[in-house]
Amino acid sequence: MLVSFKLVNLQPGDSTVGGFLHILARGKPSDPPKEWAYPKGKVVNGFPENYRSGQVFTIQRFKPIQGRFNLGQSLESPSSVRVLIYDQSGAIILQKDFEVSS
């Protein structure tokens, strides 16, 4: 599965923004939940275990982002995707959830 979007810097002026990006995909509610992470990493309670394991980015205006998930042999495909952006200190500066249509 491929997730593509444009990450846009909404800061005023020409200042650059940098941090760490994670894309998490999640199947329908189950126990344990079926979760996939890009970049690969451990997910704890719907968030990456270590924010620093995310994709490092620096943008001035915008940056196209692509995250590829290997769903393996799973018969289930993700029902939602969460994009998380952390600043350099680990604070979440963007959390956006999207439903996945089949």
Cβ pair 43, 49 in contact under 8 A: yes
Tell me if 102 is assigned to some domain: no
Domain span at 70: 2-56+63-81+92-97
Into how many domains does the chain fold? 1
Q: Do you know the residue count of the chain?
A: 102
**pLDDT per residue rounded down to tens, the chain (102 residues):** 889 999 999 888 888 999 999 999 988 777 666 888 999 999 988 899 999 999 999 999 999 999 988 877 766 788 899 999 999 999 999 999 999 876
Q: In one letter, which amino acid is 72?
A: G
Tell me if 86 is assigned to some domain: no
Tell me if 77 is assigned to some domain: yes
Tell me if 35 is assigned to some domain: yes
Three-state DSSP class for 11?
Answer: coil
